[in-house]
A and B are shown apart, each in its own frame.
Chain A
């Protein structure tokens, strides 16, 4: 039984990381007032890019970079279309996600890949801690980024001028503009951050979790990551908590089926993260704390009179 719990925790952390990386990026983007449905596309692009990069160079490190770049490319298109060319950001998000799904599916069949998997790295002593030791300190090495990335994002958003400007843009773009903050530029930059993070999440998915790419392997993980940000009430701690909660739900579903406990039917377990995200949004999430200008448009050429 204890071993089972350990297994569940281990895979919770592993799967939670995917949500976490993507959600951290989306957190920054939403603080700037943007919502990116294309996060799903960025994640999938990251997964494909990661697998392709690792397979072509034979080095997972290059794979990770390739994944991050792939995520960034999608983010760049999203930012360009929605926050330079004024196309509705949701529609752009849908379109890009679909394009990425199509493109990766197509290329996956055209180009053969053997990416290999990122190595496991145990931190001595700490790994001996009962219950959580293995989950936290016997990860594939990319997983340890999860210890640093939240701190980095936190520093960026709350302790830099850039972060201050991003927050101001998300709260009151008109006032920010009056203060000389380039509103759309900050929004685009925040989307780039989302792309880099989601690309990392994707690379982690294909290189550390599964070790291979498969068609549409993100399967809504990007959407759950967005839900994690909403669920966390646009706070960093809430976002992290949400990510691991959904990761836990995902892991529980998988583990219970492996263990063979069929009190709860499999299909319901498979729905767990999505169901939990929905229930979370309905109950705990504090939707009133959202950035005041979330999902609003800003037209700098608008005449204020």
Chain B
């Protein structure tokens, strides 16, 4: 009798997941929903193709160069996986915070600060290499957590919206990094190679970088393993642990949560700090694993893309593995687009369209349930919705 999605009036503050989570549907409709998801993602790609065609490019060529650049050429898949590391870490962090009912969308800034922390440690701490590497990675986590911690503090103290504060902090972060890399008493590269004194740090010495290894001819670094393990761990914890239940309870209904001893100050703050920490970790991976030096634009949209990848994964940790590889493939593949005559920035359009596409199934279900067919099939929705 009860209609999916609208069976009960939902008075909890946050009914985001209601429309976002296929688990909310009952079993018979899961198939329809899965189909809708695939249909919409395909639709997103289709529109991207249309756009390419509209500016005079060839959609098939673009697609094949993207695949070539991200998977087919030698070592490309390894590069894609390495790119996916920060995206995955950011995504998992975003998923935790969104599940706790807080929109941490300032991941880009947290990535930058995490990168800053790891660079400082890697360049200025002396000691055994493995110790410095571990310390730098831990430091990047701390950096990201501190940056999101400012938003946590502002929320707990004055209830400043986390979404707004994390966003504002995102625009401050690159300036902090720039400050650090433009002062010789901080991180500015003063070696002879940097003759024009560009705002960047020295390179992290080879022995202090994340150790690399080779599988099936693909060059990977240990960050790949760390990221996958951490993501799976956090996803399992979120789904199956007491802590995870508390966090999700907080996100689903914070009043009920309060009755059972779950609070914004404890679980909410932890989720946000963890989220920031994971973004910071992503920054650490970038510095220690691929960029090897700090620049003001070190975050290079990894924070944004990780956020989007989380949205496309529909806040599911397992799907985030796939979506972060997809987003990474767009990044690595884009360098092969030059030959097609289409600007590589097409990939950012594709990203945006995919996020919209990930939202569409929920919207389509609303449309269906409001149509005459849906009303008959799924029960009586109030007519005259359109007047509202």
- A–B direct touch in complex (beta carbons closer than 8 A): yes
Chain B 36-74 per-residue mask, 1 if CB under 8 angstroms from chain A, else 0: 000000000000000100010000000000000000000
Q: Is the CB of B154 within 8 A of A182?
A: no
Chain A residues within 8 Å of B178, by CB? 266-267, 270
Residue of A nearest to B163 (CB): A90
Q: A91-B359, A278-B169 are in contact. Are A106 and B349 (CB under 8 A)?
A: yes
A26 → B minimal CB distance (Å): 12
Q: Is the CB of B382 within 8 A of A106?
A: no
- Interface residue from A37, A81, A100, A223 paired with B363 (Cβ < 8 Å): A81
- Taken together as a complex, chains A and B put the C-alpha atoms of A182 and B20 apart, in Å, by 26
Q: Decide yes or no whether A281 CB sits under 8 A from chain B.
A: yes
- Taken together as a complex, chains A and B put the C-alpha atoms of A40 and B151 apart, in Å, by 20
Q: Is the CB of A88 within 8 A of B20?
A: yes
- Interface residue from B15, B157, B182, B183 paired with A282 (Cβ < 8 Å): B157
Q: Decide yes or no whether B366 CB sits under 8 A from chain A.
A: yes
Chain B residues within 8 Å of A220, by CB? 167-168, 170-171
Interface residues of A (CB under 8 A from B): 37, 81, 85-88, 90-92, 94-96, 98-103, 105-107, 109-110, 177, 182-185, 219-220, 223-224, 226-227, 230, 265-268, 270-271, 274-275, 277-278, 281-282, 285, 287, 296-297, 299-304
Chain B residues within 8 Å of A227, by CB? 164, 168
Measured as residues with beta carbon below 8 angstroms from the partner, the interface class of chain B is 35 or more
Residue of B nearest to A219 (CB): B171
Chain A residues within 8 Å of B164, by CB? 223, 226-227, 230, 281
Interface residues of B (CB under 8 A from A): 6, 9-10, 13, 15-16, 19-20, 51, 55, 103, 105, 154, 157-161, 163-165, 167-172, 175-176, 178-179, 182-183, 296, 304, 307-308, 311, 343, 345-353, 355-356, 359, 362-363, 366-367, 381-382, 385, 387-388
A180 → B minimal CB distance (Å): 10
Q: A99-B349, A102-B352, A268-B175 are in contact. Are A300 and B388 (CB under 8 A)?
A: yes
Residue of A nearest to B312 (CB): A95
- Taken together as a complex, chains A and B put the C-alpha atoms of A282 and B164 apart, in Å, by 12
Q: A95-B355, A281-B158 are in contact. Are A102 and B165 (CB under 8 A)?
A: no
Most chain B CB atoms below 10 A, which of A106, A182, A275: A106
- Interface residue from A99, A275, A285, A303 paired with B352 (Cβ < 8 Å): A99
Q: Is the CB of B387 within 8 A of A185?
A: yes
- Taken together as a complex, chains A and B put the C-alpha atoms of A101 and B165 apart, in Å, by 21
Q: Is the CB of A87 within 8 A of B359?
A: yes
- Interface residue from A184, A265, A281 paired with B154 (Cβ < 8 Å): A281
- Interface residue from A230, A271, A302 paired with B171 (Cβ < 8 Å): A271
Q: Is the CB of B349 within 8 A of A103?
A: yes
B17 → A minimal CB distance (Å): 9
Chain B residues within 8 Å of A223, by CB? 164, 167-168, 171
- Taken together as a complex, chains A and B put the C-alpha atoms of A109 and B347 apart, in Å, by 13
